[in-house]
Amino acid sequence: MSRSVWKGPFVDPSLITKVEKQKKTTNMKPIKTWSRNSTIIPEFVGVSFLIHNGKKFILITISEDMVGHKLGEFSPTRQFSGHTPADKKAKQVAETTQVNKGLNEKK
């Protein structure tokens, strides 16, 4: 369920103050945040964030296409290692059956 329109988008107040402070200075150091549920607003465009994914911080530079999304969408929490190929699984099954046959023959 999405957030009510009359409430407006949620943005952590500390993030807004940090972005405003950074825009006034020439220092373009990334802003470190744990607020993954904050919505990206147009004022964030061009600002770099270090977004925590539960283990480490991932560097994200905000572009115009990201406005309206949440910060957490660009910092995945899980790493997909891929599916095991069918050939690999078939090979494992064949090896285990050979080992089992070898053990039965020795008895």
- DSSP result, 26-68: S--PPEEE--TTPBP-GGGTT-EEEEE-SSSEEEEE--GGGTT
Q: Quick one: CATH architecture of 13-106?
A: 2-Layer Sandwich (3.30)
For the chain, domain boundaries: 13-106
Mean pLDDT of the chain: 86
Q: How confident is the model over 61-70, as a mean pLDDT?
A: 95
Model confidence at 95, pLDDT cuts 50, 70, 90, reads: confident
Separation of alpha carbons 84 and 19, rounded Å = 44
Structure confidence at residue 81 (pLDDT): 78
pLDDT in tens, 3-43: 888 999 999 999 999 999 999 998 889 999 999 999 999 99
In this predicted model, which residue has the larger pLDDT, 4 or 87? 4
Residues 6+ positions from 74 with CB-CB distance below 8 Å: 51, 58, 60, 66
Q: How confident is the model over 40-68, as a mean pLDDT?
A: 95
Residues 6+ positions from 12 with CB-CB distance below 8 Å: 33, 35, 38
